[in-house]
Structure 1
């Protein structure tokens, strides 16, 4: 039990909170403690019945059942892995910046979800964070199922194709990719490569709530691979495939 407590405390704050709420709301819905319908993003009760919690619960809740349990675990793994890497990597020491990026991605998911009638936004929200990490570490070689290896910049598209083949879906993955691309462009590409303003700079009150813990000289060269994302012995999952860690290639 102490090992679990130590591990839990070692997970960075926003990743730990996000993962904990996701598991909690999903289990509450699974065991019927609350009618899961009240967790869904539904335009009419949200707008006309003032059920203002729905955009929040729709981000954390995911139905767990025989046909969805494995997908839920995969989502939790991606959430934990790539959110933690961003929070302790590019955004280390800048919690307000990371939180503001999460808020932006979440708001985009909510707007699109209301427009196209999507009741759950966990899939696109998780994939948007994964996409940002992959763009920041595009030259990292990742391993996927069946021993396939490719650069991280292709991982979101591989997941899109994988889901299309297995379940005939892919719409939510595509939404997540688009939101992640917009977030990455506004936060890194546009200010650094085009000389534009940093639109995703957190407001002052967020900086006061989550002050920087150390000085970080800007965000550096964001489109390049971030150092330190290398494979570690035994760092594998799902049948020996490490799902995202790997050797950094030389720039091509």
Structure 2
């Protein structure tokens, strides 16, 4: 996704390569997957996540900033979402985008559990306190003593 976004942003001649357009494109895809999630914006404004990329674009337009970076990010995010998910899954079309195979060697597609980055640590038995838990000198516990009260003599 990041490689596709970066290429589209470079092709659109927006040379803030990994800033606002990239963030907005990732936000756009997140918003498409979480359409019904309620998000909060400035001053406690609450609305569905589906509208968040467009609210940010409108907000930057209102405060006088350039909204072209946000617009570029939204368009690239829409293009990615359409080509990766909407067209192949919902409309039955051909899949134009796929993750390169070499990335699966570095980032496995499996979720949960341990996946090839070593073995889980062996479980150690709990230490037993031979002194009976009184805080004495045995069993790896420290005898802190009774201490002194602050401000007292």
Partners of 2:84 and 2:62 lie apart in 1 by 32
2:16 aligned with 1:120, yes or no?
A: yes
Gaps of 5+ in 1: 1-100, 216-252
Are 2:91 and 1:189 equivalent residues in the alignment? no
Q: Max radius of gyration: which structure?
A: 2
2:4 — aligned with what?
104
Contact residue 57 and residue 71 of structure 2 kept, 8 A: yes
The offset of 1:165, in angstroms, is 1.0
For residue 93 of structure 2, give the secondary structure of its aligned residue in structure 1.
coil
Q: Which of the two has greater helix per residue?
A: 1
Written as runs of structure 1 = structure 2, the 5 A alignment for 1:1-252 is: 101-113=1-13, 118-121=14-17, 122-214=19-111
CA RMSD of aligned residues (A): 1.5
Structure 2, unaligned stretches of length 5 or more?
113-153
Q: What per-residue deviation string (whole Å, max 9, x for no partner) do you get for residues 108-155 of structure 1?
A: 111112xxxx33131101100000000010111111111111111100
By relative contact order (CA 8 Å, sep 6+), the higher-ranking structure is: 1
Find the aligned partners of 1:203 and 1:131 in 2 and give their Cα distance.
22
- TM (norm. structure 2) is 0.67
Q: What stretches of structure 1 move > 4 A for 4+ residues in a row?
A: none
Instruction: Specify the SS of the correspondent of 1:167.
Output: coil
Q: Normalising by structure 1, what TM-score?
A: 0.42
The alpha-carbon deviation at position 211 of structure 1 amounts to 2.3
> Distance in 1 between the 2:92 and 2:15 partners?
38
C-alpha distance in structure 2 between counterparts of 1:194 and 1:119, whole Å: 34
**SS of structure 1 residue aligned to 2:104:** helix
